Structure 1
Amino acid sequence: MGEELIDTQMPRRRVTDPEEALALLERAVPGLTGLRRPARAVIDWTVFEEGLGARLPSDFKHLAEWYPTFDIGGFLLVALPEPGEEGPALEGTLGALDVLADAWLGPGPGPGLSAHPAPGGLLPWGESCDSDKFMWSTTGPTPQDWVVTVATRGGAWWHFGGGAVQFLAEYCTGGLEPWGLPPIDLDISPS
């Protein structure tokens, strides 16, 4: 598809505490708290993580335990596992991995990245209505070290040197340059 990796944007400070990251996102998107569960959900992460062959970052797990799947501005869908629905959520992620491997990372010119479970492979966690992809680059000693990789439909590929929840907060506040992405509307809706 002719894509090239543009660069990496680094946050001023990487937020690794899941509660702090969630608080940043809730401040960035005030309407989000209207979807917050009254109690922390119990998600069987073992089913999900064993099926993927990887543990997931704690900020993402914390987000999923407090929120259902939602979209921001009718643009960015954040697909989160629901209690009792871990199997279908896993199937959805595996399907997204297949699409990523076949349509975005297939043979030919590209950014030179691979899909999970390849070492350091990309693992999707979100998608836009324009088919932009939001993924983790599964590099580093623990999932908390993973960075976000963005692939836009227009061909821009770039990294954000923080976790998924911090990425969402900084995208929504304008704290990062949205290379190849439109400005985002902060309306929230469950999906």
Structure 2
Amino acid sequence: MEALIPGLAAHRISSISYVQWDLVETGIGTTLPSDFKWFAECYPPLVFDGFLAVNVPSPGKESEYLRDMDNALQALRYMTEGDEADGYQAFPEKNGLLPWGKSFHGDVFHWLTRSDPDSWSMVIETTNGDWLPCPEGVTDFLARFLGRQGEVRGMPSNFPNSPVTVTLRM
């Protein structure tokens, strides 16, 4: 991933950061994908090109992550109850959506939950009201999209920049 996104290496945490996954996963109600947990233990919360923010828990700040996740799920439930989510449901419903990132233009990146977290794919909720399925998980998506290895429907054609800027999320 760092070969495709050169600015990422500068933000790699020098020693593995131990997130209390039992606390996070109990709070959410599911195990999270292993690629996401790897990403969260290697990198702090990041923003790519001032556009795409990946929400990861930070050690000692797991309750903040859970609060943010709960707020995002409440907003998603509001949309699903109003039939504004193209037939998708919010987690914990079967095959429900669980948010993992957002853009600063209002797009939301969700996992499409299944029985095996490592087989979860994604759905992008765009600011245009489109709900676009993506076949891969978080790290494969980030590598493909930010590494300019393929276009992502619904995302700006001028994103990402080359090279991608990577900054800490405040």
* Pairwise same-fold verdict (TM > 0.5): yes
Q: Residue 119 of structure 1 aligns to which amino acid in structure 2?
A: K
Matched residues, percent identical? Answer: 35
Give the counterpart of 1:47 among 3, 13, 23.
23
How far the C-alpha of 1:29 sits from its partner, in A, is 1.1
- 5+ residue gaps, structure 2, are none
Give the counterpart of 1:187 among 159, 165, 168.
165
Higher relative contact order (CA 8 A, sep 6+): 1
After superposition, the C-alpha distances for 1:4-56 in whole angstroms (9 at most, x for unaligned) are: xxxxxxxxxxxxxxxxxxxxx21221001111101111110001000110000
Structure 1 counterpart of 2:124:
150
Tell whether the 8 Å contact from 2:85 to 2:131 is kept in structure 1 after alignment. Answer: no
Structure 2 counterpart of 1:135:
110
How far the C-alpha of 1:109 sits from its partner, in A, is 5.0
Query: Does residue 177 of the first structure (1) align with residue 151 of the second (2)?
Result: yes
Give the counterpart of 2:139 among 156, 165, 170.
165
Structure 2 counterpart of 1:36:
12
How far the C-alpha of 1:180 sits from its partner, in A, is 1.4
TM-score scaled to structure 2, two decimals?
Answer: 0.92
Q: 1:51 to 1:109 in 2, by over 3 A?
A: closer
Structure 2 counterpart of 1:108:
83
Bigger CA drift: 156-165 or 46-55?
156-165
How far the C-alpha of 1:92 sits from its partner, in A, is 0.7
Query: Does residue 27 of the first structure (1) align with residue 3 of the second (2)?
Result: yes
Tell whether the 8 Å contact from 2:108 to 2:126 is kept in structure 1 after alignment. Answer: yes
Residues in 1 aligned to 2:147 and 2:7: alpha-carbon distance in whole angstroms: 13
Q: 1:110 to 1:88 in 2, by over 3 A?
A: closer
How many residues in Structure 1 have an aligned counterpart in Structure 2?
A: 165
The alignment's C-alpha RMSD in Å is 1.2
Q: 1:132 to 1:163 in 2, by over 3 A?
A: same
Instruction: Find the residue that maps to 2:24 and give its secondary structure.
Output: helix
Q: 1:43 to 1:27 in 2, by over 3 A?
A: same
Tell whether the 8 Å contact from 1:156 to 1:179 is kept in structure 2 after alignment. Answer: no
After superposition, the C-alpha distances for 1:138-179 in whole angstroms (9 at most, x for unaligned) are: 02x310010011111012211111111110111112333321
Residues in 1 aligned to 2:5 and 2:72: alpha-carbon distance in whole angstroms: 26
TM-score scaled to structure 1, two decimals?
Answer: 0.83
How far the C-alpha of 1:105 sits from its partner, in A, is 2.5
Q: 1:78 to 1:178 in 2, by over 3 A?
A: same
Instruction: Find the residue that maps to 1:83 and give its secondary structure.
Output: coil
Tell whether the 8 Å contact from 2:88 to 2:97 is kept in structure 1 after alignment. Answer: yes
